[in-house]
Structure 1
Amino acid sequence: MNVRRIAICLGGALALAVCGVTMAQSSASVKKSTKAAPSAAALSLAPATPEQLEAAARVYVGRSDCEFGQHVTVTPHPDHAGYFTVTLASKTWVVKPVLSSTGALRMEDVRGQALYLQIADKSMLMNTALGYRVADNCVHPKHREAMATHQRESIGIAAN
Structure 2
Amino acid sequence: MTVSLRLAALAAAAAFGLMSATAAMATEGSKAKAEKAAAAKTAKAAKAAPKAEAPLAEADEAQLAASQRAYRGVYACEFNQTLDIAVNPKHAGYLDVKWKKDVYTMKPVLSSTGALRLEDVKGQTLMVQIANKSMLMDTRVGQRLVDDCQSAEQREAVAAAKLAPPVAGGLGIDPNKPVVAEATK
If the length of structure 1 is used for normalisation, what is the TM-score? 0.76
Correspondence 1:64 to 2:75? yes
Q: Percent identity?
A: 39
Letter paired with 1:55: A
Greater relative contact order (Cα < 8 A, sep 6+) = 1
Query: Aligned ranges for residues 45-124 of structure 1 at < 5 Å?
Result: 45-124=56-135
- 2:69 alignment partner, SS class: coil
Cα distance in 1 for residues equivalent to 2:113 and 2:37: 52
Letter paired with 1:137: D
* Root-mean-square deviation over aligned CA pairs: 2.9
Query: C-alpha deviations, 1:8-64, integer Å up to 9, x for none?
Result: xxxxxxx9xx98x958964873564265544xxx54111111111111111111100
Correspondence 1:44 to 2:58? no
- 1:57 alignment partner, SS class: helix
Letter paired with 1:33: K
Query: C-alpha deviations, 1:106-153, integer Å up to 9, x for none?
Result: 000011111111111111111111211111111111001101111111
Cα distance in 2 for residues equivalent to 1:83 and 1:35: 25
Correspondence 1:33 to 2:47? yes
Cα distance in 2 for residues equivalent to 1:143 and 1:25: 53
| 1:133 paired residue among 134, 137, 144 | 144
Cα distance in 2 for residues equivalent to 1:27 and 1:123: 42
Cα distance in 1 for residues equivalent to 2:78 and 2:39: 41
Query: CA distance change for structure 1 residues 79 and 47 in 2, over 3 Å: closer, same or farther?
Result: same
If the length of structure 2 is used for normalisation, what is the TM-score? 0.66
Query: CA distance change for structure 1 residues 54 and 30 in 2, over 3 Å: closer, same or farther?
Result: same
Letter paired with 1:136: D
Compare CA radii of gyration and give the structure with the larger one.
Answer: 2
**5+ residue gaps, structure 1:** 1-14
| 1:148 paired residue among 150, 159, 168 | 159
Letter paired with 2:98: T
Letter paired with 1:46: A
